[in-house]
A and B are shown apart, each in its own frame.
Chain A
Amino acid sequence: MPRKALSGLTESMFYVLMALCRQPMCGIEVADFVDTKTQGEVRIGPATLYTILGKFEREKYIEVIEVSGRRRTYSITAAGLGAYAREIRRLQRCLDDAASEESQLGRESRE
Chain B
Amino acid sequence: MSDAEERKRAYRLAPCPAYDIEGTESWLEDMAEKGLVLSGDGFFAGVACFWKTEPRQLRYRLEAAPEGTGLWSGNGGLPAEEAVEINEAYGWKYVANRGQFHIYCTDDPSAREMHTDPDIQALALNIANKRARANMITALIYFMIFPLIHLRGGVLLTAVHMGSGLMLGGLLLVLIALGRTVARVLHLRRLRKRLSAGEAPHRKNWRRRALYHRRSRPIFIGLTIIWLGFFFQGWSNENLGGNIMPLEEFTGQIPFATLADMVPAGERAGVILFNPWIFQG
Residue ranges of A at the interface with B (Cβ–Cβ < 8 Å): 10-13, 27-28, 31, 43-52, 54-55, 69-72
Contact = CB atoms under 8 A, between A and B. Distances in A.
Interface string B105-133: 00000001111110111011000000000
A7 B85 CA distance: 30
A12 B113 CA distance: 14
B3 interface: no
B120 A48 contact: yes
A47 B112 contact: no
Given A31-B86, A48-B116, 10 more contacts: A10-B117, A12-B117, A44-B117, A45-B113, A46-B89, A48-B117, A48-B120, A50-B87, A70-B81, A72-B82
Interface of B: 61, 63, 66, 80-87, 89-90, 92, 104, 112-117, 119-121, 123-124
Contacts of A31: 86, 89-90
Contact of B115 (A45, A69, A70, A71): A45
27 contacts: A10-B117, A11-B117, A27-B82, A27-B86, A28-B86, A31-B89, A43-B116, A44-B117, A45-B115, A45-B116, A46-B87, A46-B90, A47-B63, A47-B83, A47-B115, A48-B115, A48-B120, A50-B82, A50-B86, A51-B66, A51-B120, A51-B121, A51-B124, A54-B66, A55-B123, A70-B82, A71-B82
A98 to B, nearest CB: 21
Most-contacted residue by chain B among A11, A44, A51 (CB, 10 A): A51
Contact of A28 (B63, B81, B89): B89
Contacts of A72: 82
A47 B89 contact: no
B188 to A, nearest CB: 15
B85 A28 contact: yes
Nearest to B63: A47
Contacts of A12: 116-117, 120
Contacts of A54: 66
A46 B86 contact: yes
A51 B127 CA distance: 10
Contacts of A46: 83, 86-87, 89-90, 92, 112, 114
A20 B7 CA distance: 51
**Max chain B Cβ within 10 angstroms of own Cβ: one of A13, A49, A55:** A49
A52 B117 CA distance: 10
Nearest to A64: B82
Contacts of B61: 47
A20 B249 CA distance: 82
A52 B90 CA distance: 17
Q: Which among A31, A45, A46 has the greatest number of chain B C-beta atoms within 10 A?
A: A46
B84 A70 contact: yes
A45 B82 CA distance: 14
Nearest to B61: A47
Nearest to B88: A46
A43 B115 CA distance: 10
Centre residue among A43, A48, A55, A70 by max chain B CB count within 10 A: A48
Contacts of A52: 120
Contacts of B115: 45, 47-48
Contacts of A50: 66, 80, 82-83, 86-87
